[in-house]
């Protein structure tokens, strides 16, 4: 099937009222008054998550999360370990389908289509919504083959050399590897391997890139390089990143979703809004306790 390319462009202010905080409460020109509301174009929403719950067998790991991911922005998911951040992220491109005990309820609307609808091919979903994992995981192949692999499988008809160069350039790795494209991906440092994995994700031209703690296995210098890279990428891509590092979310994201566990250990969305607001004037007391390091 083909996902259609219409974007959801309704104004954020029409967020349906539900128990989860939505962007409507905290994002956009609300604080600048009604006059400027009319002047500013409504932000385009790349993905709308509606009442998502994820179960592993009988255990509910994520409970009724609703949020909107804005185009050309970086959205961070933060919260204490085990609160369901990775599980939630994996529900954004049907990666949980690969876990036999996992079951997802709710809707994820992407390009006007619920990715969980019966007629949707999860492989096509994952082509349009790429993923970068916690630990760099290059294939045991050359640098060139790592980048070209996905495009080749998808029957890419263009010039592969150009695509490889373009993807490595976008991933800020080209200069370091252009003279050794035939060497193994494993010959690179950890930070370079992660940039190679980002280049591999970019080469299939996704609309949205999900990153699951992409810097947690890296040293501080490599971490900052990836953060800079993510900033550069947002002019062309939409990015959603899970991080356990609050400083990283504060530095590197435009919007932040804070999740926490209930007494039943199910992860819930506590607060969602512009990163600057969430970290300086959180609306929820539990958010304040978390960002000031009182738990988690
Ligand atoms: P976080 O990313 O916030 O650390 P996770 O999404 O990894 O949290 O995990 C949320 C909850 O789901 C935890 O209780 C974890 O033990 C459980 N969980 C994660 N993956 C699986 C799995 N494949 N099978 C069963 N339980 C899982």
Average pLDDT on 43-60 reads 96
CA distance 119 to 4: 13
Atom of ligand 1 nearest to the CA of 88: 6
User: 42: pLDDT confidence band, cut at 50, 70 and 90?
Assistant: confident
The pLDDT assigned to 296 comes to 80
Distances (CA, A) of 235 to 53, 72, 161, 232: 31, 6, 23, 6
138 and 186 Cβ atoms separated by less than 8 Å = yes
187 and 180 Cβ atoms separated by less than 8 Å = yes
> Inter-axis angle of helices 143-153 and 190-203, to 10 degrees?
20
* Three-state secondary structure call for residue 151: helix
Burial 138-165 (b: 16+ CB within 10 A, else e): beeebbbbbbbebbeeeeeeeeeeebbb
Residue-wise pLDDT tens digits, 225-256: 999 999 999 999 999 999 999 999 999 999 99
Mark out the alpha helices in 220-284 (DSSP H runs).
220-233, 246-252, 275-280
User: 36: pLDDT confidence band, cut at 50, 70 and 90?
Assistant: low
Residue 87 has pLDDT above 60, yes or no: yes
Q: Both tokens of residue 154?
A: 């998808």
Residue 20 has pLDDT above 90, yes or no: no
Query: Ligand 1 centre from 9 Cα, in Å?
Result: 33
| Beta strand spans in the chain (E) | 45-56, 59-70, 74-78, 102-110, 113-114, 129-132, 208-212, 238-242, 255-261, 267-274
User: 40: pLDDT confidence band, cut at 50, 70 and 90?
Assistant: confident
Of all protein residues, whose CA lies closest to atom 20 belonging to ligand 1? Answer: 87
Of all protein residues, whose CA lies closest to atom 12 belonging to ligand 1? Answer: 61
Q: Is the CB of 262 under 6 A from ligand 1?
A: no
Q: Residue 130 forms beta bridges with which residues?
A: 209
The pLDDT assigned to 37 comes to 59
Strands, sheet with 74-78, edge to edge from the N-terminal-most edge strand: 113-114, 102-110, 45-56, 59-70, 267-274, 255-261, 74-78, 238-242, 208-212, 129-132
Average pLDDT on 24-45 reads 57
The pLDDT assigned to 9 comes to 33
CA distance 66 to 135: 28
Residue 276 has pLDDT above 50, yes or no: yes
Distances (CA, A) of 241 to 86, 178, 208, 237: 9, 28, 11, 13
Q: Model-level pTM?
A: 0.86
> Among 12-16, 83-87, 220-224, 284-288, whose mean pLDDT is lowest?
12-16
12-291 CATH, one of 3.40.640.10, 3.40.50.300, 3.90.420.10, 3.40.50.1820: 3.40.50.300
Atom of ligand 1 nearest to the CA of 90: 6
Atom of ligand 1 nearest to the CA of 89: 6
């Amino acid at each position: 099937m083909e996902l259609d390319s219409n974007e959801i462009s309704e104004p954020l202010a029409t967020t349906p009222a539900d128990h989860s905080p939505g962007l409507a409460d905290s994002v956009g020109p609300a604080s600048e008054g009604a006059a400027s509301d009319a002047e500013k174009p409504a932000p385009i929403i790349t993905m709308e998550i509606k009442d998502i719950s994820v179960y592993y067998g009988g255990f509910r790991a994520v409970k009724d999360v609703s949020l909107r991911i804005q185009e050309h922005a970086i959205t961070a998911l933060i919260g204490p370990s085990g609160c369901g951040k990775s599980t939630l992220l994996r529900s954004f491109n049907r990666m949980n389908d690969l876990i036999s005990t996992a079951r997802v309820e709710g809707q994820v609307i992407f390009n006007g289509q619920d990715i969980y609808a019966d007629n949707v091919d999860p492989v096509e979903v994952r082509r349009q919504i790429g993923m970068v994992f916690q630990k760099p995981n290059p294939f045991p192949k050359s640098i060139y083959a790592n980048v070209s692999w996905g495009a080749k499988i998808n029957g890419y008809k263009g010039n592969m050399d150009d695509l490889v160069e373009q993807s490595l350039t976008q991933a800020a790795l080209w200069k370091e590897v252009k003279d050794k494209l035939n060497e193994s991906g494993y010959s690179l440092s950890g930070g370079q391997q992660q940039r190679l994995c980002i280049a591999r994700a970019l080469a299939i031209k996704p609309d949205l890139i999900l990153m699951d703690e992409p810097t947690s296995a890296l040293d501080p210098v490599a971490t900052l390089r990836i953060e800079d890279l993510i900033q550069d990428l947002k002019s062309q891509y939409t990015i959603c990143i899970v991080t356990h590092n609050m400083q990283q979310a504060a530095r590197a994201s435009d919007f932040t979703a804070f999740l926490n566990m209930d007494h039943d250990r199910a992860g819930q969305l506590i607060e969602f809004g512009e990163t600057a607001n969430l970290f300086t004037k959180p609306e929820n007391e539990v958010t304040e306790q978390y960002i000031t390091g009182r738990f988690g």
